[in-house]
A and B are shown apart, each in its own frame.
Chain A
Amino acid sequence: MEPTAQRTEAPRRPRQWLELAAVLLVVFALPALFRVPVTGPAAVAGYGDGTKPAGAPAFDLAPLQQLRAVQPDYLFVGNSNTTTRIDEQRLGELLDASVLVQATDGTTGVHWYLQLVNHLIPSGARPRTLFVLFRDDELLSFSQTRPELLLAWSQDFEPAFEAIHQADCTTRSMRMQAAADRGITALWPLAAVESDNLYPLADALTPAAILQGRPATVFHTDLNRRFGLGHMRPVASDGMTDLGKHSGSGDFAARARCSVLPHLLQAAADAELDLVLVRVQRRTWTGDDQEIEALVRQLADFAADHGVPLVDFSGDPEIPAEWYGTVDHIADEHRETWTELFHQRVFVEGLGR
């Protein structure tokens, strides 16, 4: 059998090369011809030029109007870690003053900066203190979370964004990745599609009995609500890298230059606002992450240089693990106690002041 196999192999090799060429052509080259109209969050890309893209939502006046109406003595800005910690009513009672929490889930430093320059300062309200509550590096990230809020809270042109855009904030690996992505998209335009295309397909196949007359968008909103934070196990936060993971990597100066932090501090100083930064503790905080701790120390020094104190609640012995609800949030039943602890630390003991 062996000699026969060898005799028949020779003429077959050219054919095998042809077959390999056919694989390369059909499997890899043919999909290069497929194109679909790309629809997606292109609006966000407008920030790359520091301008608001066409078709952006109208400016959101509601927070500004609320500030004018309430004229708070103490204003709190942050994300869901603020709303789950600060009990407006209880703190108001303790301070005998008006307290307002203007915090929105999923926001970071970029949004808080916009709230300061586009809501608080133009509103004319002058709280005695503006508290910005953050986790680890949230003031140092120029992340694109909640892009719809970035659009709704910004003016047509944001000089701070333009300044950040002009700064060289990309790392070598980011530039390489971007170049590779561009190359792949040039070869295969279909690769530009970045959405969960299987959900629209599933929607199309879903019987009316399941949708119960709801449009797909409403159905998905309801579905997302079922899987929302309010229905999550506490331990589930460990796997929620998007919400819970922060990075202390990178040089502080470079990260600050590529963030809104200097602009935030400067804007507060220009408006003669008493700003206090408050670092809230993550559920999984142990103090062992040296990079994060070093970053926060440098952040505190940087803020102090601008006359802004930083209160750090990480490692506070009075905050037990049982207080936590979902992710890094404080459970509803412990919010009041956390607020009282905050009052004790900041207003009685004067931490960070």
Chain B
Amino acid sequence: MLFQSLDFMAFLAAVLVLYWLLPRRGQNLLLLVSSAVFYGYIHPWFLLLLLTSTLCDYGCGRGIAERPRHRRLWLAISLCVNLGMLGTFKYFGFFVDNVQQLCDTLGVPLSGPTLGLVLPVGISFYTFQTLGYTIDVYRGKVKARRDLLDYAVFVTFFPQLVAGPIERASRFLPQVEAPRRLEPGRLRDGLLLMVQGFFVKLVIADNVGITADRVFQLSDPGWPLLWVGVLAFCVQIFADFSAYTDIARGTARLLGFELTENFRQPYLSRGPAEFWRRWHISLSYWMRDYIYVPLGGSRVTRRRWALNILVVFGISGLWHGASWNFVGWGLYWGLLIVAARALAGITPKAVQQAPLVQPLRLAATFALTCVGWLIFRESNTGWLLHYLTLSPFDSPPEDWVWAAYLLLHLLLCSSPLLVRAVARAVLIRWPLSADRALLLRLLVGCFYFTGILALRSMRGPDFIYFQF
């Protein structure tokens, strides 16, 4: 079920009314049933995978708790089942294609098996979430849960099931197990967050997405058109994904839950490492805790640390999709982080922290982020290389005109994001009284909702991160 559908609105209204009439146990049962309806709405068979992952990690958690001598075995089972599912549904076709290509190159034609599997929505998110639980139980950071219902709600909670945030057991399971009270303040905040999310998705992401899609469909984009397209994608992917998170967090609040923050104004980062502390935070921290730290983290030699970073970001890229451009995108970020650290090592602290240098760092990080999004967006290596070799001096003059117009359109579409970023900075410095802050939020909410009514794009594609 899509958040931006009327079906979801009707579904959520019905769930909310019932939910707040029930005791905690009933609420959790309702959450489980409604999550199954939400997830299996279009492809009911996807539920089998969700059920497998849930039962497997519940069982492995119990196994680790009750048979600690075989804890490694239980962990291995969890890893095999979850990564096996992910590998089969997400990476099998990619693997076969590459083996075939390799064999063709070597002059040994090979016809490999083709499964033609549909990628189940959200599989990358929920497998990582359940895997995180089992690893935490293995490490003794989280107690293995006895209650299967509570555990199933943790895995299947519908607001964040399809595109995160990837929740941690230590943070989310206590919320599932605690009684929840109907609090008007939470309802108010949840509604406002949802309205904001819908505005950012329908008005900003979907409108700028038209420019990005059109530019990347061109056979002969000039340099200015290409980079306006990349900028448009840069805004689109942030607006799209952060909007999903806002709607998810808002919906969760209506149900009495608090989800992890996933974005903290990532385009205001002043370095690649900082970008990843602000972008898709729940994935970044998952990677840090479950891959980077076990590899030794930063408590190793410099060379080994650089290798660790590349491994982590390579995996992160592959997590986004079974395509070489995603791997390249991950490695690109890994290289940037390694290079930034090397640069920091030879630059005096005073220079690094000088006020005049900060805007330069911000601009440089943003420019490098845009290059990253170009790698992310373009799955064809030939086209990617073509794009990277385009020169602004060889562009048709008319392309500068179209680019200028589309840039203006892009700035207009994304102006609410810019205003929001500035307003946040101002309000941190000069906070408003509670009454004025509420009034401001009401007016902004009214603006958002009016914008949804009058300015929403009629294009209506899915959220980009559904494909991961």
Contacts and interface: CB of A to CB of B under 8 A. Distances in A.
Interface stretch (A78-86, A205-213, A335-343): A205-213
Contacts of B450: 31, 34, 190
Given A232-B218, A233-B383, A198 B191 contact: no
Interface in A1-50: 13, 16-17, 19-20, 22-24, 26-28, 30-31, 34, 36
Contact of A27 (B192, B454, B455): B192
Contact of B454 (A13, A36, A177): A36
B25 interface: no
Interface string B399-431: 101101100110011000000000000000000
A20 B192 contact: no
B217 A20 contact: no
A296 B164 CA distance: 42
Contact of A198 (B183, B412, B438): B412
Given A27-B449, A193-B454, A20 B443 contact: no
A59 interface: no
A266 B148 CA distance: 64
A313 B193 CA distance: 53
A249 to B, nearest CB: 13
User: Chain A CB within 10 Å — which of B216, B218, B380 has the most?
Assistant: B218
B185 A16 contact: yes
Given A26-B443, A239-B213, A16 B188 contact: yes
A19 B188 contact: yes
Nearest to A242: B459
B123 interface: no
B453 A190 contact: yes
Contacts of A36: 454
A121 interface: no
B108 interface: no
Given A194-B458, A239-B213, A22 B442 contact: yes
B183 A197 contact: no
B217 A206 contact: no
A27 B438 contact: no
A34 B402 CA distance: 34
A31 B446 contact: yes
Given A197-B454, A233-B218, A206 B192 contact: no
A226 interface: yes
Contacts of A304: none
Interface in B183-226: 183-185, 187-188, 191-192, 195, 207, 213-214, 216-220
B66 to A, nearest CB: 36
Given A193-B454, A232-B219, A239-B213, A20 B188 contact: yes
A205 B218 contact: no
A172 interface: no
Contacts of B218: 227, 231-233, 236
A223 interface: yes
Interface in B370-397: 380, 383
A69 B255 CA distance: 72
B254 to A, nearest CB: 11
Contact of B446 (A27, A223, A236): A27
Contacts of A231: 218-220
A291 B219 CA distance: 33
Interface of A: 13, 16-17, 19-20, 22-24, 26-28, 30-31, 34, 36, 177, 180, 188, 190-191, 193-194, 196-199, 201-202, 205-206, 210, 212, 219, 223, 226-227, 231-236, 239-240
Given A22-B442, A233-B219, 16 more contacts: A16-B184, A20-B188, A24-B191, A26-B445, A27-B446, A34-B450, A188-B453, A190-B454, A202-B405, A202-B409, A206-B405, A210-B405, A231-B220, A236-B216, A236-B218, A236-B219
Interface of B: 6, 183-185, 187-188, 191-192, 195, 207, 213-214, 216-220, 380, 383, 398-399, 401-402, 404-405, 408-409, 412-413, 438, 442-443, 445-446, 448-450, 453-455, 457-458
9 contacts: A26-B442, A26-B443, A27-B442, A34-B450, A34-B453, A190-B450, A199-B409, A205-B408, A234-B219
